[in-house]
């Protein structure tokens, strides 16, 4: 079955491992991710200033293409997913703005396409995704970290409970590993504050990792390239301000799929993780 796929710019650059592992994993269970032709950047983070309509232009162009091309699209990057979904909420509920942007672009988008995150797609096809599991991950304890972009705002994202979501735990169980829930799984990692106020982002990211570790996680799973960067890349700096910090690997969910489906180890993308997961995986006999 072919599934229309919007990678977004990050999956072509820094989050290449997410792109490669999700494509191969979906393929392994019979879903071919068909990349949209001539896609554009979503515009990155959603603007909250209501009088700024410029930021709706890129999302409308993308969604108008989706409308012509089957009406639904899979979006793995949390920022793209959030931006496209929040923009689409406006297109659905604010006919005047929809008309304005359509007119500006010469499009006739109707606001009706479906923007689907891989977790939602996997849940809807869970028997297929379960059948692909070949490798035993049962001893791997994975902290399920959601961050912000998938969950909030609740009425626009309609993804899961914004305070106590469970969709990622269900995914981890489906892959045969042990999910670990922890209170800060919905807390912000600091996102782009890493550029403007790195000390604030590193401290909040540290707290998230500490909380996950205290609840028994041996590694973290996330779907967001921003969360992945903040949690994985600054653990040396966390250790210098918090000497008790012990490094904890951070995976994209699709890396877990590649392991569970017993895909070639280069698809797991382990060299991409700043904090090496090799010893952890060897310890559990996975590698």
Partner 1 sequence: MRRLSRNKDFILKIEEISHQSIADCYQCGRCTAGCPFAEFMDEPPNRIIRYIQLGLRDDVLKAQSPWFCAACLVCETRCPRGVDIPRIMEAVRTVHLRAKEQIIDIDMIDKELLMDTHPLLLMSALYKYSY
Q: Which spans of this chain sit near partner 1 (rule: CB under 8 A)?
A: 8-10, 13-15, 44-45, 47-52, 77, 79, 148, 152-154, 162-163, 186-188, 190-201, 204, 207, 225-226, 229, 233
CB closer to partner 1 out of 148 and 281: 148
What minimum distance in Å lies between the beta carbon of 138 and partner 1? 33
CB closer to partner 1 out of 8 and 132: 8
Q: What's the CA gap between 88 and 1, in Å, rounded?
A: 26
State how far Cα 274 lies from the chain centre: 18
What minimum distance in Å lies between the beta carbon of 249 and partner 1? 18
160: closest CA among 196, 186, 136, 126? 186
CB closer to partner 1 out of 67 and 83: 83
What minimum distance in Å lies between the beta carbon of 230 and partner 1? 8
What minimum distance in Å lies between the beta carbon of 191 and partner 1? 5
CB closer to partner 1 out of 209 and 280: 209
Helices assigned H by DSSP within the chain: 16-28, 57-68, 78-93, 95-105, 118-124, 126-131, 154-157, 167-174, 193-196, 198-214, 225-233, 235-241, 253-260, 265-268, 278-283
Helices assigned H by DSSP within 52-113: 57-68, 78-93, 95-105
What minimum distance in Å lies between the beta carbon of 42 and partner 1? 9
CB closer to partner 1 out of 130 and 274: 274
Q: What's the CA gap between 98 and 102, in Å, rounded?
A: 6
How far lies 98's CA from each of 62, 116, 206, in Å? 14, 21, 41
Beta bridge partners of 116: 74
């Amino acid at each position: 079955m072919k599934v229309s796929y919007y990678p977004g710019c990050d999956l072509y650059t820094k989050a290449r491992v997410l792109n490669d592992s999700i494509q191969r994993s979906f393929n392994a269970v019979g879903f071919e991710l068909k990349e949209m032709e001539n896609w554009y950047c979503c515009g990155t983070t959603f603007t909250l200033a209501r009088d700024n309509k410029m930021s709706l232009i890129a999302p409308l162009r993308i969604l108008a293409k989706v409308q012509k091309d089957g009406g639904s699209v899979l979006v793995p990057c949390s920022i793209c997913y959030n931006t496209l979904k929040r923009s689409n909420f406006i297109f659905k509920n604010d006919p005047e703005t929809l008309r304005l942007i359509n007119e500006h672009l010469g499009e006739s988008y109707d606001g009706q396409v479906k923007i689907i995150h891989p977790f939602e797609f996997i849940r809807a096809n869970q028997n297929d995704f379960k059948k692909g599991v070949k490798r035993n991950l049962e001893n791997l304890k994975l902290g399920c970290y959601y961050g912000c972009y998938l969950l909030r705002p609740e009425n626009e994202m309609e993804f899961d409970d914004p305070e106590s979501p469970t969709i990622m735990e269900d995914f981890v169980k489906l892959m045969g590993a042990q999910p670990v829930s922890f209170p800060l799984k919905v807390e912000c990692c600091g996102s782009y504050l890493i550029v403007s106020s790195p000390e604030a982002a590193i401290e909040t990211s540290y707290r998230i990792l500490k909380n996950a570790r205290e609840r028994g996680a041996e590694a973290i799973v996330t779907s967001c390239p921003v969360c992945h960067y903040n949690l994985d890349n600054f653990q040396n700096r966390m250790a210098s301000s918090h000497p008790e910090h012990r490094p904890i690997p951070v995976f994209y969910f699709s890396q877990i799929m590649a392991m569970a489906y017993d895909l070639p180890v280069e698809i797991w993308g382990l060299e991409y993780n700043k904090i090496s997961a090799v010893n952890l995986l060897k310890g559990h006999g996975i590698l």
